[in-house]
A and B are shown apart, each in its own frame.
Chain A
Amino acid sequence: MFFEAVPVTPETLLGEVRRLAEAKYRFVTMSQTVLDEHTLCLYYHFDENLTLTDLRRACDLFPQAGMTHLRMEVDKDRPIPSISSIYFCALLIENETQDQFGVRFEGLPLDYQGAMYLEGEVARGPYFTMTTVRRASGEALPKGPGGEQQ
């Protein structure tokens, strides 16, 4: 189902997340999508209630209902405020985002410095820079200097 997200900025993010935490929302996860070569879009997904009665009343049998989404566009070179001080459980997904997209979160209680999944020497976020090269069927791969396929 299409969903609507509340737009936030790096300056307003923590205040909005704190408000949701005080209203006893559960942090579900974060999603990330690349908008252009400099901009990453982050979605923060929260669940409103945790009880059977409330879920059935609020959701009207749709799994997306009862959720709140925050949407934030960030420059990949600017540090992003971490919400782990409010929701400790966000630290893994924030570290994963660092690994995969090459961005940096400020204030992480446990910071793998972009090496949670990746080896330390990997310099680029693989999901930010990944491109797909399409070749016509049967076209040979270019040969390297030693004759090996690249």
Chain B
Amino acid sequence: MSRTTVIPFGPQHPVLPEPLHIRLVVEDENVVQAVPQLGFVHRGLESLVRTKDFNQMVFVVERICGICSCIHANCYCNAIEDMLGVTAPPRAQFLRVIWSELHRIHSHLLWLGLFADAFGFESVFHQFWRVREHVMDICEATAGNRVILSINVVGGVRRDLVPDQIRWMLVQLDETEKGIRELTKTMLNDYTVQERTRGIGVLTRDEARLLGAVGPTLRGSGWECDERMHGYAAYKDLNFVPVVEQDGDCYARSRVRFYEALHSVALVREALNRLPESELTVKLPGNPDGESVFRVEQPRGELFYYVRGNGGKMLERMRVRTPTFANIPPLLHMLPGCKLPDVPVIVLSIDPCVSCTER
């Protein structure tokens, strides 16, 4: 006869870099129910729009999440620029793509390392993080910081790349690609990896849509859906193709991220080679007035900003819907029915970012 037990997963757990609590109801080794508890690090950053002017808010939104700070700022700036009726110059659009894709590469490499660590493959964790250092070096050399880059401003970007930097970046990108490709066999073909991830945490195509999944969680279930397809910033000028897998399990989601990291290397290389000449910023015509929404693709999926201005320097309201927030309902659907040892692998497979989620 099975015995029902309640097991707390988190907020402190070896696979969780940030505090998230899931109350697991298990019968023997089988999970039958999962209930999340959030709020351990909620900061109320959205409310700061009433005390910081809309230009200062760029620095605030970058601090919603370190690992995709540039993409938060990109989305926020685009939403404000839409309200003001201005468009960033072409070179700024390309530079936004370059730094955003660098963030995506280092985020995916970080996740691939953590994911390998979650199922006990510590040497792969070390290797991915070693390769990631090439990207962190690029960020530091070009923006002055490894994580929070602060290159976006409303109306453009504040930093440029010079030809010497571009040549050096291309060499570093070659090294990054070589490092990732060397890990292909281990990460994607190894027997142990497949045993721990194939057929685990399956999310079918219809379930992914109904449950509002985004990003690699959605694309791992067979949907060709990536905000970059809309062509914001310079994506409309680049050869972007979404990475899609069909199986909907943890292995499919890790394949999506693995190949997206490689595709992002190609996108940065293409953007560097086609960087147009222009100004870096445009003059802003006044203060934002009205309402605007904007969506971009973060490493974890669709990022959504709603902003409302009243013609003053401070915005009235800003609302941020981060991808992890959207991927929690699919996670709650994936967990019941799985075995207890698979819980860390499934939780990590959505690449949870609690810092983003709690804002």
Contacts and interface: CB of A to CB of B under 8 A. Distances in A.
B47 to A, nearest CB: 6
Contact of B293 (A1, A26, A117): A1
Nearest to B244: A52
A2 B38 contact: no
A28 B321 contact: yes
A33 B209 contact: no
Interface string A1-30: 111000000000000000000001011110
A2 B224 contact: no
Interface string A111-144: 0000011100000001100101000000000000
Interface in A66-88: 67, 69, 87-88
Contact of A117 (B231, B304, B321, B358): B358
Given A29-B304, A62-B230, A117-B38, A93 B295 contact: no
B211 interface: yes
| Residue among A31, A69, A88, A127 facing the most chain B CB atoms (10 A cut-off) | A31
Interface residues of B, number: 49
B212 A52 contact: no
B302 interface: yes
Contact of B231 (A2, A61, A92): A61
A55 B230 CA distance: 7
B236 interface: yes
A50 B302 CA distance: 12
B212 A26 contact: yes
A88 B329 contact: yes
Contacts, number: 112
Main secondary structure of the interface of B (DSSP, over half): mixed
Nearest to A61: B231
Contacts of B294: 1, 63-64
Q: Assign chain A's interface to a size class.
A: 35 or more
B230 A52 contact: no
A63 B321 contact: no
Nearest to A56: B229
Interface in B37-85: 37-39, 42, 44, 46-47, 50-51, 82-83
B227 interface: yes
A3 B50 CA distance: 22
B119 interface: no
Interface in B19-34: none
Contact of B225 (A51, A65, A116): A51
Contacts of A55: 225, 229-230
A85 B39 CA distance: 24
A52 B229 contact: yes
A60 B247 CA distance: 30
A132 B51 contact: yes
State the 5 A-B residue pairs at the shortest beta-carbon distance, nearest first.
A89-B212, A117-B39, A29-B321, A31-B306, A61-B231
21 contacts: A2-B82, A2-B291, A2-B292, A28-B304, A28-B321, A29-B321, A31-B293, A33-B317, A50-B223, A50-B224, A51-B225, A55-B229, A55-B230, A63-B227, A88-B210, A88-B329, A92-B329, A116-B38, A117-B42, A126-B44, A132-B51
Given A2-B83, A61-B230, 8 more contacts: A24-B209, A28-B212, A33-B316, A51-B225, A87-B210, A92-B328, A93-B321, A117-B358
